[in-house]
Amino acid sequence: AVAGVVLARSVLPARPRRRRPTTRWRRIRFAVAVIGAVVWVAVVAWLRPFPAVEPALAAMASDDVVAVEQSSTRIVLTPADGPTGPAVLFHPGARVDPRAYAAVLRPLAEAGTRVVVVKQPLGIAFLATGSLGSARAAFEDADGWVVAGHSLGGTVASMLADEQDERKVAPVVGLLLWASYPATDLRESLTVAVLSVSGSQDGLATPAEIEASRAALPDGAEFVSVDGASHASFGDYGPQPGDGTPTIDADDARAQIAEASVAFVAGLTGSPDGA
């Protein structure tokens, strides 16, 4: 048997030896691995949401006025006496904990409006464009919908409003923008009421950008500027990189934003306090 193996090796061509990677290629592969790891860490860090802080966390508690429920896809604030009029579907800003808006949105529920806050995949509103259909299926008693959102969430809300405002059953009846503006021109296509609430100290959706958005919204769109409010004044999640510095008390800013939003929803047909 040994002789056969020796003969076979003498007849068959020798197997080529596997060459070890050169030092240069080893360095290149190492560099690629390091860059990949750094990019992955950066992506994970970027996707980490801005955490909700007080008073938003306290506003997440149910009481005898507002019932608060959560699921894997949404937070729902429901008037204890039962909702009336259109419901509000709210999209958070990018990478912001959806609970961060509870204190600003709660006055809407206290006024009789059901508020549905979307929990967006990875905290990105563009990954939750099916949220309106899901909300309609879950809350069939809603007399229409106001789609709303902060920052990027408002941009997605404007897309949903433009696509759904002519629906005959549970239509979109309003668009509520917080420190936001549409990505495309909706002046001719959008037919619902619009309210844009912004802050004078916003470093991300700047006053100049909000002013420019008038040309992309219907002529009847209403604009409210909260003097001294920044981008992060619209939620309770701490400071945000690139934002301006607020010059107004957080409680005051929150109250003004909520007041304008409640009045807007109340003025829509079928709303709890509307004419």
Looking at residue 164, its pLDDT comes to 82
Contact 85, 143 (CB under 8 A): yes
Query: So what's the pLDDT on residue 22?
Result: 66
pLDDT value at residue 182: 97
pLDDT of residue 29: 58
* pTM of the predicted model over 0.75: yes
Provide long-range contacts, Cβ within 8 A and 24+ apart, for 212-217: 212/181, 213/181, 213/182, 215/185, 215/187, 216/181, 216/182, 216/184, 216/185, 216/186, 216/187, 217/181, 217/182, 217/186, 217/187, 217/190
Residues in the chain: 275
- The pLDDT assigned to 140 comes to 93
Task: Note the pLDDT of residue 275.
Answer: 39
Please report the pLDDT score of residue 167 as a whole number. Answer: 78
User: Residue 2 has what pLDDT?
Assistant: 42
Low-confidence ranges of the chain (pLDDT < 50): 1-12, 36-46, 270-275
Residue 16's pLDDT is 52
DSSP character string of 202-248: -SSS-HHHHHHGGGGS-TT-EEEEETT--GGGGSSS---TT-----S
pLDDT of 28 reads 64
- pLDDT, residue 14, reads 52
